[in-house]
Amino acid sequence: DTEVTQTPKHLVMGMTNKKSLKCEQHMGHRAMYWYKQKAKKPPELMFVYSYEKLSINESVPSRFSPECPNSSLLNLHLHALQPEDSALYLCASSQGAGDKNIQYFGAGTRLSVL
Amino acid sequence: LAKTTQPISMDSYEGQEVNITCSHNNIATNDYITWYQQFPSQGPRFIIQGYKTKVTNEVASLFIPADRKSSTLSLPRVSLSDTAVYYCLVSNRDDKIIFGKGTRLHILP
């Protein structure tokens, strides 16, 4: 099973709302990732968690707040977003140590900020 | 991580073999070459990974010359469902990978 599950599939929110994106994997992977993808652009790395600790933050604005409650779950908390934050948000996981960093992606959450 | 360069777009016909070449001149000794496929509104899907020479799986083949400064993804007998964006990237045991611009492959009937 190489499935990464993301919920919700679609999300519409206002600029004053608070919402959360969720990601789950049951492959025993030790690393989990958040990416942002705009239309016709490649995915851009936002955050990396390794062994449930934040290891990489690609200078993402604080209105995006990641959380890793346990080794299977990854959340992205959203607050006071801007319309330009509308994008496809992708979660991925990889096995980690000794692996060649093959990442398995979820189907993404399509976010629209009004 | 080494930067990758690949054609922006390619067209081919059903039943043909498609070869997409990627350049990675600054590849490091411990870097692997990895290819992903992405359909619209879906996450990228791992296709194949290699270090040197040739790797083949049920989906594709990956050819890597001895200097490892380029690689070629080969898709045999493509169908309409192979229309997608294909990303070449280098990765190692570190967590970070960087997607290049990818190649938009359009398969025609």
Per-residue model confidence as pLDDT tens digits over B48-100: 999 998 999 999 999 999 999 999 999 999 999 999 999 999 887 777 888 88
When computed from its CA atoms, the radius of gyration of chain B, rounded to whole angstroms, is 13
Contact B43 A4 (CB under 8 A): yes
**Closest by Cα among B41, B47, B44, B42 to B78:** B47
Option in B41, B44, B95 nearest A110 (CB): B41
Reported as a single tens digit per residue, the pLDDT across B2-13 is 789 999 999 999
Strand partners, A24: A5, A73
The three-state DSSP-derived secondary structure of A7-63 is ECCEEEECCCCEEEEEEEECCCCCEEEEEEECCCCCCEEEEEEECCEEEEECCCCCC
Contact A48 B102 (CB under 8 A): no
Helix (H, G, I), strand (E, B) or coil at A83: helix
Cβ of residue A66 closer than 8 Å to a chain B Cβ? no
Check residue A1 and give its pLDDT: 60
Cβ of residue B4 closer than 8 Å to a chain A Cβ? no
Share of chain A above pLDDT 70, in %: 94
A92 contact residues in B (CB cutoff 8 A): 43
Option in A42, A55, A105 nearest B95 (CB): A55
What tokens does B72 get?
Answer: 């070629």
Cβ of residue A104 closer than 8 Å to a chain B Cβ? yes
Check residue B3 and give its pLDDT: 86
Reported as a single tens digit per residue, the pLDDT across A64-113 is 999 999 999 999 999 999 999 999 999 999 986 555 688 999 999 999 99
What tokens does A9 get?
Answer: 């599939």
Contact B43 A107 (CB under 8 A): yes
Strand partners, A87: A111
**Closest by Cα among B60, B70, B90, B92 to B22:** B70
